[in-house]
Structure 1
Amino acid sequence: MSFTRRRFAGLTASAALFALTASMSAHASDLTINIGYQPIVEPSRVPQADGTYEKATGAKINWQKFDGGADVIAAIASGSLDIGYVGSSPLAAAASRELPIETIALVGLISEAEALAVRGVTKPEELVGKKIATPFVSTAHYSLLTALKHWNIDPKTVNILNLRPPEIAAAWQRGDIDGAYVWDPVLASIKKSGTVLATSADVAKWGGPTFDAWIVSKKFADAHPDAVATFVKVTGNATAAYRANPAAWDAKSPEAEKIARLTGAKQDEVPELLKGYIFPTLEEQAGADLLGGGTVKAVAETSAFLKEQGKLPSTLADYGPYVSPRWVEKATKLSF
């Protein structure tokens, strides 16, 4: 079963979504999709809160919250998740181990949304001997290692601790750590009493770009391609809505309230936190700079760096099977 613009031509967006849902319901009413998300401030939290994914796919969705990409990857590997939200570093690690997954959409290119926040440290060389926390095998971990390399600091001279974001918040509050490379909303909290030494926008300029993405198990994708494409379309619609009028997603907006509710971020901080990412549209994602080529190169380079740092035993000659524009291309042909 496929859905095209021709099939729903002439319908309003809401009518098209209703028609799509009705058409799919007979086929998907018995389908349950297990989705692992992370409490990250980004546009697709809105359709998640609204139940739009369920309406569009006609499926029951079991949403599961995770605090890091490594845990999402483990859940997909175990078969308990069908679709998951991960950063580029866990994605690279999973692909390098030839886990049967595929990137279906990019969420955002990480800019100010991840950073190294510290206290009692005023310059990079003072990190030596300090306790710096980050979730291992995350984009933040990769960015921390890239920053240390840029500063010519041996990671072995820094006491790098493996903590998840909630644990980082607690450890920072207790004064157990000197700093952390982490993402919002925990980053926004610790920045209030800390100093930012580097952001992921800085690290990107130093040769270590990072991004967040949705991935799918290939088994599920092969069995339910229409559900996957519809999921990508709903996600892309949320990005497009934000991109069209970011000012409308202000602190008092319904969008900010829904994002805050699902992420734990403070509602009045949501508009500023959204600025920490660059959110590409589905059309932009399909281009040569992203899923059409650039993302494969970024995953390959991330994998090579992780191997160099002893975090991966080996890398692949080709990461193309794990990153493809086909899902965003399929999604752009859907009209709702």
Structure 2
Amino acid sequence: MSRRLLAGLIAVIVLVAAAAYLAHHAGKTREENIVRIGTLRGGVSTLDVILEEKLDAKNGFTIKPLYFTRTLDLANALEKGDLDVAIIPVEFVAKLREKGLDIIIIAVDFPQNQAIIASNKSSIKSLSDLRKARIGAFKPTGTYAMFTAYMKTLEGFNPDPSTVNMPPPQLLQALARGDVDAIVVWEPLASKAVAEMGGRIIATYGELWRQWSRGKWGDNGAMIAYAARGEWARKHPDLIARLQEARATAAKQWNNNPQLAEKILIEKYGLTPKAAELCRKRLRMVEEKWVTREMAENIKAVWTLAKQGGYIKTSPEELAREAFWHGQ
């Protein structure tokens, strides 16, 4: 083989190897810039705005959204490592940490928006009237546990014996038929019940929180958070920072752009314009990028409330150790 031919062959081999190396690392970089985020179907969050406005791409990463019907399925995916981040109730984070999972809250999305809604066919006018009422609620949730705690501490009675357990969609149907006197639901179901089914808000969780907390932990308790697998979070602090930036921008857009928020509620969640307007007004997103010290104390108070309702058994202080991402 001539030297010229050998040199040419070596050059080709080097070029092929270089191309393969670059392709491999380019693919690896793209993969590292993908965040797999799980959320429940029917659950409003800033993720809706991020995807609508392409805020992930604008911050140099890509979100792969994964939707789940059941909270248990979402939790299993998070535990197996099929997700990097989950958008879930803060008390559910406590439940996962109680099981020994390394889950970290990286941002609070919005405060409690649940409401106790009475049927127009019922005579219920106040919380005290719930003592003799038929109440509809989805019992395997932190929302119900906190409702129980609120009623026990503020009204002095246990609502469990008179509460009928049913999935969220069935709650609205039961209220409309008059099968129950009142229901305990969150957004966007609460606004749908009021605007489209003639329901009346008897009390909001924000109001109950202020009575229960007596001003110690802010105006309202945290409800929904972005929670990440601890191992993944510690390996990708820069990616978390970009996700936090995108989420905070989305929160500001939701809060300051009524047309955008209501468009999402109408198109994605099937709300009527009237229900969408009410939901948008009731649902204000948290604009803070990361978990502040005050937010951490607020979340621990929510966990205390959930513990009073029997949702968790472990001390909130114990569960809170290394549970929050305070920013870098």
Common fold: TM-score over 0.5: yes
CA distance in 1, matches of 2:38, 2:155: 35
Does structure 1 conserve the Cα–Cα contact (< 8 Å) formed by 2:251 and 2:287? yes
Shift of 1:26: 5.9
Does structure 2 conserve the Cα–Cα contact (< 8 Å) formed by 1:88 and 1:213? yes
CA distance in 2, matches of 1:269, 1:316: 36
- Structure 1 alignment gaps of length 5 or more: 1-23, 331-336
**Do residues 53 (structure 1) and 59 (structure 2) align?**
no
Shift of 1:148: 0.8
Amino acid paired to 2:236: H
Question: In structure 2, do the counterparts of structure 1 residues 67 and 259 end up closer, same or farther at CA, with 3 Å as the change threshold?
Answer: farther
Amino acid paired to 1:82: D
Deviations 1:214-246 (A, max 9, x none): 111112223333322212111111122344xx2
Q: Which moved more, 1:30-39 or 1:83-92?
A: 30-39
Does structure 2 conserve the Cα–Cα contact (< 8 Å) formed by 1:115 and 1:196? yes
* 1:254-273 matches, cutoff 5 A: 254-273=260-279
Does structure 2 conserve the Cα–Cα contact (< 8 Å) formed by 1:37 and 1:65? yes
Q: Name the counterpart of 2:211.
A: 206
User: What secondary structure is seen at the aligned counterpart in 1 of 2:322?
Assistant: helix
Amino acid paired to 1:33: V
User: What secondary structure is seen at the aligned counterpart in 1 of 2:179?
Assistant: coil
Question: In structure 2, do the counterparts of structure 1 residues 258 and 155 end up closer, same or farther at CA, with 3 Å as the change threshold?
Answer: closer
Residues matched between the structures, number: 288
Deviations 1:7-62 (A, max 9, x none): xxxxxxxxxxxxxxxxx976542345331224344544122224432564443613
Q: For 2:285, which of 272, 279, 292 is the aligned residue? A: 279
Does structure 2 conserve the Cα–Cα contact (< 8 Å) formed by 1:105 and 1:213? yes
**Do residues 152 (structure 1) and 156 (structure 2) align?**
yes
Q: Name the counterpart of 1:197.
A: 202
Q: Which moved more, 1:49-58 or 1:213-222?
A: 49-58
Does structure 2 conserve the Cα–Cα contact (< 8 Å) formed by 1:125 and 1:153? no
Deviations 1:74-111 (A, max 9, x none): 4322433221111232223223333211111111123x
RMSD between aligned residues: 3.0
**Do residues 216 (structure 1) and 228 (structure 2) align?**
yes
User: What secondary structure is seen at the aligned counterpart in 1 of 2:292?
Assistant: coil
Among all aligned residue pairs of Structure 1 and Structure 2, give the percentage whose two residues are the same amino acid: 15
Q: Which moved more, 1:197-206 or 1:132-141?
A: 132-141
TM-score, length basis structure 1: 0.73
Shift of 1:153: 1.2
Does structure 2 conserve the Cα–Cα contact (< 8 Å) formed by 1:85 and 1:214? yes
CA distance in 1, matches of 2:111, 2:228: 19
Q: Name the counterpart of 1:297.
A: 297
CA distance in 1, matches of 2:211, 2:26: 48
Does structure 1 conserve the Cα–Cα contact (< 8 Å) formed by 2:304 and 2:316? no
CA distance in 1, matches of 2:282, 2:205: 9
Q: Which moved more, 1:210-219 or 1:164-173?
A: 164-173
- Structure 2 alignment gaps of length 5 or more: 1-24, 214-220
TM-score, length basis structure 2: 0.75
Q: Pick the structure with greater CA Rg.
A: 2
Does structure 1 conserve the Cα–Cα contact (< 8 Å) formed by 2:254 and 2:260? no
Amino acid paired to 1:280: V
